[in-house]
Amino acid sequence: MPGLFAINAPTSQTLFQIFSGHAPALWQTGLEDIVGMSLLLGFVSVFAMFCIWWERKVAGHMQCRPGPNRVGPFGLLQSVADGAKLLLKEDLIPKDADKFLFRLAPYIAFAAVFAAFLALPFGPNLTVAPGLNVGVFWILAIMSVEIVGVILAGWGSNNKWSIYGGMREACQMVSYEIPLGISIIVGVMTAGTLNMVTLGHLQGGGLFTWLIFRNPFAFLAFFVYFVASLASNKRAPFDLPESESELVAGFHTEYSGLRFSFFFFAEYAAMFVVGGIQAALFLGGWNDPFGLLGWAYHNATADPAHINAIYVLLLNLGGAAIFVLKAMMIIFVQMWLRWTLPRPRIDQVLYACVKVLLPMACAILLGAALWQLLVPDQQGIPWYDYRPFVWSAWRGAHAGLIVQIVLMFIGLALLGSIVLWVVRAFLSGRNLKQRLTDPSPILPETAP
In a domain, 160, yes or no: yes
With beta carbons less than 8 A apart as the criterion, state whether 211 and 201 touch. no
For the CA atoms of 160, 342, 57, 77, the dihedral, rounded to the nearest 10 degrees, stands at 10
CA 362 to chain centre: 23
Mean pLDDT is lowest, of 5-14, 155-164, 304-313, 393-402, for 5-14
pLDDT tens by residue, 326-347: 999 999 999 989 888 888 888 8
In a domain, 18, yes or no: no
pLDDT band at 350 (very low <50, low <70, confident <90, very high): confident
In a domain, 19, yes or no: no
In a domain, 17, yes or no: no
Helices 160-191 and 358-374 meet at what angle, rounded to 10? 10
Residue 21 has pLDDT above 80, yes or no: no
Q: What pLDDT is attached to residue 323?
A: 96
Average pLDDT over residues 275-286: 94
In a domain, 21, yes or no: no
In a domain, 1, yes or no: no
pLDDT tens by residue, 41-71: 889 989 988 998 999 888 888 877 788 888 8
Residue 2 has pLDDT above 60, yes or no: no
pLDDT tens by residue, 165-200: 888 888 887 788 899 999 999 999 999 889 899 999
For the CA atoms of 116, 224, 376, 413, the dihedral, rounded to the nearest 10 degrees, stands at -110
Q: What pLDDT is attached to residue 74?
A: 85
Average pLDDT over residues 107-125: 90
In a 10 Å sphere around its CB, with 0-12 CB exposed, 13-18 middle and 19+ buried, how is residue 247 labelled? buried
Q: How many domains does the chain have?
A: 1
- Among candidates 118, 47, 117, 123, which has minimal Cα distance to 284? 123
Average pLDDT over residues 71-82: 87
Mean pLDDT is lowest, of 29-33, 318-322, 347-351, for 29-33
> What number of other Cβ atoms are within 10 A of residue 438's Cβ?
8
DSSP secondary structure of 308-333: -HHHHHHHHHHHHHHHHHHHHHHHHH
Q: What pLDDT is attached to residue 339?
A: 85
Q: What pLDDT is attached to residue 437?
A: 52
Phi-psi group of 108: left, alpha or beta (phi > 0 → left; psi -120 to 50 → alpha; rest → beta)? alpha
How many Å apart are CA 383 and CA 388, to the nearest integer? 7
Q: Which amino acid is located at 175 in the chain?
A: S
Tell me what the pLDDT averaged over the chain comes to: 85
Q: What pLDDT is attached to residue 188?
A: 93
pLDDT band at 359 (very low <50, low <70, confident <90, very high): very high
pLDDT band at 4 (very low <50, low <70, confident <90, very high): very low
Phi and psi, residue 386, nearest 5°: -160, 160
Average pLDDT over residues 390-397: 88
Average pLDDT over residues 230-255: 77
Residue 306 has pLDDT above 70, yes or no: yes
Q: What pLDDT is attached to residue 434?
A: 55
* Percent of residues, the chain, with pLDDT higher than 90: 33
Residue 3 has pLDDT above 50, yes or no: no
Q: What pLDDT is attached to residue 245?
A: 64
pLDDT tens by residue, 117-157: 988 999 998 888 877 888 888 888 888 888 888 888 888 88
Cis status, amide bond into 237, omega within 30 of 0: yes
In a domain, 34, yes or no: no
Q: What pLDDT is attached to residue 292?
A: 94
In a domain, 164, yes or no: yes
With beta carbons less than 8 A apart as the criterion, state whether 238 and 271 touch. no
How many Å apart are CA 321 and CA 170, to the nearest integer? 35
Residue-range definition of the domain harbouring residue 182: 93-425
